[in-house]
Structure 1
Amino acid sequence: MWHHPVPKSRGGRDVVPMHSICQQTLTTNFSNSELQRAGMDVGALLLHPNVRKFVDWVANKDPDFTATFAKKQR
């Protein structure tokens, strides 16, 4: 799956490969404005406690692993 680090709605054109559950985690935890500000700064994204917890959890999973996550709470 391809991911726009800066959302298309915010003028993003670049894409990077990203596993679908990783993309789902980002869109669940960040608004488009927040993703626009972070852009390609992975370090800034990892500062979010939910993202850090997810990355630590998924690190030892098989590359084909999939899971369902709760929808963004607004």
Structure 2
Amino acid sequence: MGRIRRLLQQEHVRVLPADLICPLCERKIPPSQRDAHHLVPKSKGGRHTEYLHRICHRQIHALLTETELARQFNSVDALLTHPDVALFVAWVKTKPDDFMERTRKSQRIRPK
């Protein structure tokens, strides 16, 4: 296990309550489905994170590039204004808290 993952897991044990709520889909996040999302990607100098459902986190990165995340969609409210993210959130809100499905990159950002 890597140093960063180990530190994140220690942080989960010490600080995080058992009933975290995903700021995107507003469902409870089971401990096995928690992902820390840098609102501004680390590669673009970001430091602040929000805990999201793993499926929500993966969908954000499947739809948006790191540059778009850093410039336009660097807050939860801004993410919710993106039409594809809003459509996904409306869909995933109807699923159980521990729901997980494969996420595919958008054709718009897929390497050619």
Aligned pairs for 1:43-58 (under 5 A) are 43-58=77-92
**Aligned-residue offset at 1:39:** 1.2
Secondary structure, in 3 states, of the residue corresponding to 1:18? strand
Maintained 8 Å contact 2:38/2:48: yes
Cα drift, residue 71 of structure 1: 2.5
Q: Counterpart of 1:7?
A: 41
Tell whether the 8 Å contact from 2:38 to 2:46 is kept in structure 1 after alignment: yes
Unaligned ranges ≥5, structure 1: none
Task: Tell me the distance in 1 between the aligned counterparts of 2:106 and 2:83.
Answer: 15
Other-structure match for 1:20: 54
Say which SS state the counterpart of residue 102 (structure 2) adopts.
Answer: coil
Question: What are the superposed Cα offsets for residues 25-74 of structure 1, whole Å, 9 maximum, x if unpaired?
Answer: 1101111111112211x232222221111000011211111011212433
Q: Percent identity?
A: 44
CA RMSD of aligned residues (A): 1.3
Q: Which amino acid aligns with 2:57?
A: Q
TM normalised by structure 1 equals 0.86
CA contact (8 A) 2:63 2:105 kept: no
Look at both structures and tell me which one has the larger radius of gyration over its CA atoms. Answer: 2
Question: Where in structure 2 are there 5+ consecutive unaligned residues?
Answer: 1-34
State the aligned residue count: 73
Q: Does 1:39 align with 2:74?
A: yes
Greater RCO, CA 8 A, separation 6+: 1
Q: Choose which of 53, 76, 98 in structure 2 pairs with 1:64.
A: 98
